[in-house]
Amino acid sequence: MRKLIYITCIPILAGGIFISSNQILADSINQSTGNNTSQTAQINTSASTVPFTLPMSKTHSSSTSVRIPQLMYYENFQSENPIRYGSLVTEDNNSFARSELGNGGTNPVQSLELNRQSLQFEQGKKYVISFDYKATEPGDYNRLSVEILPDLAPNIIPNDTEGYTWLTPTTEWQTESFEFTSKSTTDAVRISFTGANSIFETFDIDNISIISDN
């Protein structure tokens, strides 16, 4: 599988741009408005600071505000191993995460959990999570779910009875992306993926991103 480069599309009034980066942290955006003006920004990557210019359409009010989605988190498993439970696998020069059979109990399931991340979520605010996934073996009972878990608190993503459905992976890479409304406010979470039953063989995860609607 070829490694994906995350692409964020930011519409601005009548125009728009595409910003592409392998690991983006949007630190600050300085805006100026007015007739035939532009706004500039600084996007910090892990390697360098990249300046770019966002073209602005003609406006008629200096008080116009633009809502810009923020990339909160992106993990492609290329530069480090962020896995708390599971394993890091490299195939064809591409690294990704693989689940392991959970410990304890009489009916353990496949699990993959990443290290604790300092990410801020607000109750009632909308977010979008995206990731690539596949099963290592075909199976009629292959199903998995994703959770975002605060410390000592339930999953902030609504469960299957609240509109979220289980995913059915095949042995080919697929991409899942969905919007959810956070069920609680927190500033630290663990991202976790879980198989539905003990029959399910291992699964793989790659290119995880979380975007907030600022």
Per-residue pLDDT of 128-160, as tens digits, reads 999 999 999 998 878 898 999 998 778 888 876
Enumerate the CATH 2.60.120.260 domain ranges in the chain, comma separated.
73-212
What is the helix, strand, coil percentage profile of the chain, to 5?
Answer: 0, 50, 50
CA–CA distance, 61 with 139 (Å, rounded to integer): 58
The DSSP bridge partners found for residue 94 are 91
* Residue in the block written with tokens 């979470």: 189
pLDDT at residue 79 greater than cutoff 80: yes
Residue 1: what pLDDT? Answer: 53
Of 180, 183, 117, 188, nearest to 152 by C-alpha is: 188
Token digits for 22? 């392998």
Residue 51: what pLDDT? Answer: 45
pLDDT at residue 75 greater than cutoff 90: yes
Which stretches of 13-137 are assigned E, i.e. beta strand? 15-20, 24-30, 38-45, 49-55, 70-75, 83-85, 87-91, 94-98, 100-101, 110-114, 126-135
Residue 3: what pLDDT? Answer: 54
Per-residue pLDDT of 80-120, as tens digits, reads 899 999 999 999 999 999 999 875 556 688 899 999 999 99
Q: Is the dihedral of CA 24, 25, 30, 31 positive or negative?
A: positive
CA–CA distance, 19 with 3 (Å, rounded to integer): 17
Answer whether 0.85 is exceeded by the pTM.
Answer: no
Residue 209: what pLDDT? Answer: 97
Per-residue pLDDT of 8-62, as tens digits, reads 444 444 444 444 444 433 443 333 344 444 343 443 434 443 444 444 444 444 4
Q: Does domain 73-212 have CATH number 2.60.120.260?
A: yes
